[in-house]
Amino acid sequence: EGTARMVDYLYLPATPYKARLMAANYIGRAKGLDLSQHKIRLMEVFNKSSDPYIRMALVLGFGKSKDPDFIPVLRAGLLTENDYRVKANVIRALGNYEYEEIKDIVLPYLKDKNPHLAKLASEFVLDHGVKEDFELYQSHMSDSLHWAVRCNLEAARLKHTPLYFTKTKNFISEGMVKTIQNTRNPYEKAAYIQALGLDPFNYELIHSVLTRHVTEPVCKVAAYQAFGQILRDPNFFKAFGYGYPKVKAQILEYLFQ
């Protein structure tokens, strides 16, 4: 009943703006909503509204619903929207759908001129990518990309490569270390150091980078976060088998140094 009332507030033009904005944020933020009976009216509100704050909230609600009927509206929002903040929320919303359904919508934004959208697209790849698209992610790599986008793409390749493809993983990790050595940007270094933690076998490499190549506090924090990421990795035991206590003890020793 509450959801129906909020949709009524949104749909009726006479509703004061502040009430419509609160109703839109209810759609965007409240958990466990069933929008199946309201999606036609909600899509109409979205298409007619010119207010970015209402549109930003609505698209998040569309994504949470995971209803495929909202995908065409979200796709159109990316193509026609002028406000990058709405586009950013569309990309976030699309992350709720099956990867194969929406990857062709999101991946072109890896090269978007707006760095916020490109970074969100790269985070989508990092969070939802698959090993079968390894070469596809590689094809999007270029020097023109913002460093944060390149880092996320490299991290995605490392994360989604099967655990025992050790040569491939080593090649990606060595490339990350070279970037750490060559850049003067401490935040870029930190991002790549933390990305190394996506492969449990990199624990010694992270320690080597920490002791030989970085001095900045933000990089040290990133290294500690990478160690923590390795210890929490669901593949930790699979990677080291019954030798995992020794590896865990070594990582803890690195943390106390």
Q: How far apart are CA 62 and CA 41, in angstroms?
A: 12
Average pLDDT over residues 75-79: 93
Q: Where are the alpha helices (DSSP H) in the chain?
A: 2-11, 17-29, 39-48, 52-65, 71-80, 84-94, 99-106, 115-128, 134-139, 147-160, 166-182, 186-196, 203-212, 217-232, 236-240, 244-256
33-50 per-position pLDDT tens digit: 999 999 999 999 999 999
CA-based end-to-end distance of the chain: 58
pLDDT band at 236 (very low <50, low <70, confident <90, very high): very high
Share of the chain above pLDDT 90, in %: 89
- pTM here? 0.89
Q: Answer whether residue 144 shows pLDDT above 90.
A: no
Average pLDDT over residues 154-170: 92
Tokens of 70: 């909202």
Amino acid at 47: N
Q: Answer whether residue 95 shows pLDDT above 90.
A: yes
Look at residue 37 in the predicted model and tell me its pLDDT. Answer: 94
Q: Answer whether residue 240 shows pLDDT above 90.
A: yes
Average pLDDT over residues 147-171: 93
181-229 per-position pLDDT tens digit: 999 999 999 999 999 999 999 999 999 999 988 899 999 999 999 999 9
Q: How far apart are CA 4 and CA 25, in angstroms?
A: 14
Alpha carbons within 13 angstroms on the beta-carbon side of residue 255 total 16
Taking the mean position of all CA atoms in its chain, how far away is CA 86? 16
* Tally of CB atoms within 10 A around 58: 27
Q: How far apart are CA 115 and CA 89, in angstroms?
A: 14
Q: Burial letters for 225-255: b for 16+ Cβ neighbours within 10 Å, e otherwise? A: ebbebbbebeebeebbeeeeeebeeebeebe
